Amino acid sequence: MSDWNISPLDLKTKLDRGEKPVLLDVREPWEYQLAHIDGSLLIPLNEIAARKEEIESETEVVILCHHGIRSLAALEYLRRQGFTNLKNLAGGIDAWSMRADPRVPRYR
């Protein structure tokens, strides 16, 4: 796993310890409605450039999508914009559901 990735279990541990990274969900609204991590900020990938000022740059930002591909693209874009404390949720919300919180539904 690259330095940019965080596993679902490592993220769950952080959240359970009371840490509060920004959870940036870059999926589409219909996907977010099906399954999401409570407290996450929804900014679809195609809106990141226009809405990046909504993302706290001083706080750790964990970016997620369905399987981890769009979130990695968002991470690369934000890194080029000067964000430094970024992580990609490895496997996305699907892996989160399977490994960290089975209450979050899976979808195709």
Which residue segments constitute the domains of the chain, with CATH numbers given?
A: 5-99 (3.40.250.10)
Q: Mean pLDDT across the stretch 55-74?
A: 96
Residue pLDDT, tens place only, 1-47: 568 999 999 999 999 999 999 999 999 999 999 999 999 999 999 99
Per-position b or e across 41-66, b if 16+ CB within 10 A of its CB: ebbbbeebeeebeebeeeebbbbbbb
Could you give the percent of the chain with pLDDT greater than 90?
94
Confidence class for position 57, pLDDT limits 50, 70, 90: confident
Residue 65 a catalytic site member: yes
Q: Which of 22, 23, 65, 93 is catalytic?
A: 65
Distance CA 15, CA 23 (A): 10
pLDDT, position 2:
67
Confidence class for position 72, pLDDT limits 50, 70, 90: very high
